[in-house]
Amino acid sequence: MSSSFNDLAQQYIDGEWRPGTGSWDIIDFNPYDGEKLASITIATVDEVDEAYRAAARAQKQWAATNPYARRAVFEKALALIEERRQEITEMIIAELGGTHLKAGFELHLAKEFLRESVHLALRPEGKILPSPVDGKENRLYREPVGVVGVISPFNFPFLLSLKSVAPALALGNGVVLKPHQNTPIVGGSLIAKIFEDAGLPAGLLNVVITDIAEIGDAFIEHPIPKVISFTGSDQVGRHVATVCAAQFKRTVLELGGNSAIVVLDDADLDYAVDAAVFSRYVHQGQVCMAANRVLVDRSIYEDFTEKFVAKVKTLKVGDPRDPETVIGPVINSSQAEALSAVVAQAIQEGATAWWHGTTTGNLVAPAVLLDVPLDSALLRQEVFGPIAFLIPFDGEEEAVRIVNDTPYGLSGAVHTGDVERGVAFAKQIDTGMFHVNDGTVHDEPLVPFGGEKNSGIGRLNGETTLDAFTTLKWISVQHGRSRFPF
C-alpha cells in the first residue's frame, strides 16, 4: 500500500511526473493510525503557471479532436477503475479513513459519473435561430471554455474531483486540478494516473499538489482558466467567488450545507429512523448533504428518539479496514477537537446528550443531542461530524420555519405517508434539492446538483454541466446584401 502512495507522491504537469520545487513537504497521513503514507514536495506559483500553460497548449488540438475519439478515453478510464477497484478501495480507506461501505459508495458514484462523461462528449449541439433580417442566418455554436481549474475537497475526493474533471475534459477543455492537502493522492494524482493510462494526451490534465500558504491566490487568479470549479466550505467559497468576479471568471461553487430530515406525524417510523441515521452518520457525517438536524413531529418524538438512539448505539466505531466498521476516523485532529467543542457548547447551552461516546484520537463516536435551544448558533452552522441534533416541532408550519432558519440551502428530506403532502412541504424549503421519503444524501449523473443561499452558485450534472464548462458563440451569415442606414 505504501508503495502505491509513494509512486503517486509527485506533481503531474504537462504529462510528466516530477517533484515540486517548493521549500517544504505535505505529509500525507492515515487519519486512523497516523501512518505516514507519503511525503510530497509542494508545487510553487511557477509550477501552477506551467500547469495552466500546458493545459492551454494541449486544449486546442483536443477540442478539435473528433468527440467519438475523445469518448474512447473515458471508456478506457472506466475500465481501469473497475480493474483497479480493490486497490482504489484500499487507498480510500487509508487516506480518508473511509469505511468499506463508504469506499464502495464513492466508487459506485464515480463510475456512474464517468459513464455519463462518455456520453457527454457527444452532447453539445448547435442551433440555427431565426432572424428578423431577410437573408440572415444565425448560427449558435457551443464550444469548450478552454481551461478549467478544479479545487476538490477531502471528504469524497475521488468522486468530487472526477465530477468536474471528467465532464470538463469530455467537453473539450484542458484541466488543472488542485486536490485538498489531506487527500492529495486519491483526490489528485490517482486520477491523473488513471487518465494517463487511459490514453489522455499529455498536458490536458495537470495535478498540482500545494497549499495557499505557498501559492496564495495564484491558482484562481491565473489568467488562463476561464472557469473555477470549487467544492469546499462557504468561507473559502466566498473568497474564491470574490477573486474570480474581479477577473470576470465564471465559478461553479459547491459549498457547505446544514440539511434537515423532517419526520411528519404520518411517517413510517422505522423507515424514517433508518433514513435519518444514514443521512447523519454516513462517512462520519463528513458529507455536505448530511442531515445535521433531525426534526420530528412532537406526537411521535419520544418513540422516534428511542428508536433512533437504539440504532445509533449499534453503529460500530473503529478501524475502517474492518468491514463491520460504520464510523471510522474524521480527517484530522483539528476536526476531532472542533467536534468535541460542539458537543461541549451544546451541553453548556442546555442540551441533553442522550448518547455520547468517547473521542479517541481521530475516532469521534456518535452523539445524539436533544433540547438544543432553537436560537443556538449550532443549529444554523454546518457540523461536519457524527453529531445529530433532534428537534421536536408542532405542525408543518413550525417545521418549515425551523428548516429554513439557516444560511444554507443544499439538501433535505421529509418523511410522510402522503407523497403529495411531502412534495408540498418540499416546495416551501429554500434549498437546491429535497427528497420525499428518502435520505438527504443523494447525487445522480443526470440531475442538477447544487444549493441555494450559502450552499453555492451554479449546478453540475446532466445538462447543467454543459452550461458550466462550455460557452455559446453566435456566428451570423448574411445571404445577400445588408442595408445600412448610412
Specify burial of residue 24 (Cβ count, 10 A radius: 0-12, 13-18, 19+).
exposed
Q: Nearest to residue 258, comparing CAs of 380, 118, 398?
A: 380
pLDDT at 1 over 60: no
pLDDT for position 382:
96
Pairing of strands 11-13, 16-18: antiparallel
The total number of structural domains that make up the chain: 2
Same domain, 282 and 364: yes
Q: What is the CATH number of the domain that holds 309?
A: 3.40.309.10
pLDDT for position 4:
84
Predicted confidence (pLDDT) per residue in 116-153, tens digit: 998 898 888 899 999 999 999 999 999 999 999 999 99
Same domain, 173 and 227: yes
In a domain, 443, yes or no: no
Q: What is the CATH number of the domain that holds 234?
A: 3.40.605.10
**Other residues' Cβ atoms within 10 Å of the Cβ of residue 311:** 16
Pairing of strands 259-263, 412-415: parallel
Give the chain's end-to-end CA distance (angstroms, integer).
Answer: 75
Same domain, 294 and 149: no
Q: Which amino acid is at 43?
A: A
244 catalytically annotated: no
Predicted confidence (pLDDT) per residue in 10-23, tens digit: 999 999 999 999 99
Same domain, 183 and 153: yes
Cell of 90: 484500499
Length in residues, the chain: 486
Over residues 349-367, the mean pLDDT reads: 91
Domain range enclosing 148: 2-255+455-474
Q: Nearest to residue 331, comparing CAs of 134, 133, 150, 154?
A: 154
The mean predicted confidence, pLDDT, of the chain is 96
Lowest mean pLDDT among 100-109, 318-327, 351-360, 384-393: 351-360
pLDDT for position 101:
95
pLDDT for position 71:
93
Enter the pTM of the model. Answer: 0.96
Cell of 237: 467559497
Cα–Cα distance, 90 to 98 (Å, whole number): 9
CA-to-CA dists, residue 315 to 112, 176, 268, 287, angstroms: 28, 39, 21, 17
Same domain, 235 and 268: no
pLDDT for position 123:
87
Same domain, 430 and 459: no
pLDDT for position 176:
98
Q: Which amino acid is at 468?
A: A
pLDDT at 174 over 90: yes
Same domain, 315 and 171: no
In a domain, 483, yes or no: no
Residue by residue, DSSP assigns 340-352 as: HHHHHHHHHTT-E
Predicted confidence (pLDDT) per residue in 378-420, tens digit: 999 999 999 999 999 999 999 999 999 999 999 999 999 999 9
In a domain, 442, yes or no: no
Residue 357 binned pLDDT confidence (cut-offs 50, 70, 90)? confident
Predicted confidence (pLDDT) per residue in 284-313, tens digit: 999 999 999 999 999 999 999 999 999 999
Predicted confidence (pLDDT) per residue in 62-117, tens digit: 999 999 999 999 999 999 999 999 999 999 999 999 999 999 999 999 999 999 99
Cα–Cα distance, 439 to 305 (Å, whole number): 17
Same domain, 168 and 208: yes
Same domain, 241 and 291: no
Among the listed residues 47, 106, 116, 288, the single catalytic one is 288
Q: Are 308 and 390 in contact (CB under 8 A)?
A: yes
Same domain, 333 and 468: no
Over residues 254-274, the mean pLDDT reads: 97
In a domain, 80, yes or no: yes
**Other residues' Cβ atoms within 10 Å of the Cβ of residue 391:** 23
Same domain, 241 and 263: no
Among the listed residues 95, 116, 254, 396, the single catalytic one is 254
pLDDT at 335 over 60: yes
In a domain, 392, yes or no: yes
In a domain, 122, yes or no: yes
Helical residues (DSSP H) of 26-143, grouped into ranges = 45-64, 67-83, 85-96, 100-120
Predicted confidence (pLDDT) per residue in 222-246, tens digit: 999 999 999 999 999 999 999 999 9
In a domain, 26, yes or no: yes
In a domain, 479, yes or no: no
pLDDT for position 2:
59
254 catalytically annotated: yes
Same domain, 246 and 267: no
